Amino acid sequence: MHKKILALIVPIFLTLVVFSQDDLMELFGDEPETTEYTYATFKTTRICNGQSIENPPNGNLIFIISHHFGRINEGWYEWFGLDQATIRFGFEYGINDWLAVGFGRNSLYKTFDGFTKIKLLRQSTGKKVMPVSVSYFGNVTISSLKWQYPERKNYFSSRMQYANQLLIARKFNKWLSLQLTPTHIHRNLVPTNEDQNDVFAIGAGGRFKLTNRLSLNTEYFYLLPGKTADDYNNSFTIGLDIETGGHVFQIYATNSQGLIEEAFIAGTTGSWGDGDIHIGFNITRTFVIKKPKGFEEEKKW
């Protein structure tokens, strides 16, 4: 009797063992390959003056104050530029993971600006490999200065300028990130027939992380040959990013007075060689308006 029971139980037990081994193989075998996306290529949405590849996180509102003092070579009478100032107040909002919008007001030429930034590609490894991140940035600016010649017919469109940029960035490791920024600027109205309505430039910028809360940033915009390049200088900026918890403080030195792309890329008159250097800073404060599902606090910036 016992032999018959064993003869029945043993095959069933062995069958269960075989199936259990198969399940364990699946459980401890190779996991499906996933895609790991790069984050925090730059600390905030600006490298210095120019845009970085970063968007505000989904549901986050950024308030940014940008400020350029006067030229330090103006000496004691102007307190080395501290008696003068150009300032911009701006807001940026992350509508979702790939789209952000913003607007601001700049004291230089009393300019209002609005923009959109769209993520096209995102650097990643694993199942989906993408070596760079790519975004599109486009803005429109409107000057609210009084008309220089009010007696003649003036057109609202003459107040408008536009900028289009591709932001192409790569985070090489946790210490180094670089970005290229091909740029097109269109101005509806220019002073003379010889001046360019369309200006092209190539920007390059980078971030070198010094500590967890401090990085060295630099950027340069090269104007392609033309009348604008003959009349104006290339913009060069170098500075520091300092993270202080709820906001990021950026301080830098630049030869540009302007705070929007149309001004600092296509309108820089200062020269580093002549001491035409402006001390500037950005103060960035982030507010969580809507906390998206799956939000990971440690990957916010």
Mapped onto helix, strand or coil, the DSSP state of residue 262 is helix
Residue 264 domain boundaries: 35-291
pLDDT given at position 112: 97
In a domain, residue 26? The reply is no
Residues with Cβ within 8 Å of 133's Cβ and at least 6 positions away in sequence, in order, are 38, 41, 53, 119, 121, 122, 123, 167, 168, 169, 170, 171
Cα angle, residue 150 at apex, residues 148 and 156 outer, rounded to 5°: 85
pLDDT given at position 150: 87
In a domain, residue 184? The reply is yes
In a domain, residue 10? The reply is no
Q: How far is CA 19 from CA 8, 13, 27, 126, in A?
A: 18, 10, 12, 31
Which of 291 and 50 is assigned the larger pLDDT?
50
CATH of the domain at 130: 2.40.160.40
Report d(CA 216, CA 227) in Å as an integer. 33
Report d(CA 261, CA 257) in Å as an integer. 11
Least reliable range by pLDDT among 33-42, 63-72, 94-103: 33-42
Confidence label for 201 from pLDDT (cuts 50, 70 and 90): very high
Question: Do the beta carbons of residue 36 and residue 152 sit within 8 Å?
Answer: no
pLDDT higher than threshold 60 for residue 298: no
Question: Do the beta carbons of residue 60 and residue 92 sit within 8 Å?
Answer: no
In a domain, residue 15? The reply is no
Phi (first) and psi of residue 100, to 5 degrees: -135, 150
pLDDT given at position 77: 87
Percent of the chain with pLDDT over 90: 72
In a domain, residue 85? The reply is yes
DSSP output for 144-190? -PPPSSTTS---GGGGEEEEEEEEEEEE-SSSEEEEEEEEEEEES--
pLDDT given at position 75: 86
Report d(CA 67, CA 241) in Å as an integer. 15
CB count within 10 Å of CB 175 equals 11
Confidence label for 83 from pLDDT (cuts 50, 70 and 90): confident
What is the rounded average pLDDT of the residues 49-67? 95
What integer best gives the mean pLDDT of the chain? 87
Place of tokens 């830098």: 252
pLDDT given at position 143: 95
Mapped onto helix, strand or coil, the DSSP state of residue 17 is helix
In a domain, residue 5? The reply is no
Task: Please give the tally of structural domains in the chain.
Answer: 1
In a domain, residue 143? The reply is yes
Q: Which of 39, 57, 265 is nearest to 165 (CA)?
A: 265
The model's pLDDT over 234-243, given as tens digits with 9 standing for 90+, comes to 999 999 999 8
Confidence label for 244 from pLDDT (cuts 50, 70 and 90): confident
pLDDT higher than threshold 60 for residue 141: yes
Two structure tokens written together for 122 = 């995102």
Percent of the chain with pLDDT over 70: 86
The model's pLDDT over 8-56, given as tens digits with 9 standing for 90+, comes to 444 443 343 344 344 434 444 556 689 999 989 999 999 999 999 999 9
Q: Which of 159, 162, 168 is nearest to 204 (CA)?
A: 168
In a domain, residue 27? The reply is no
Report d(CA 45, CA 53) in Å as an integer. 7
The model's pLDDT over 211-231, given as tens digits with 9 standing for 90+, comes to 989 999 999 999 999 999 999
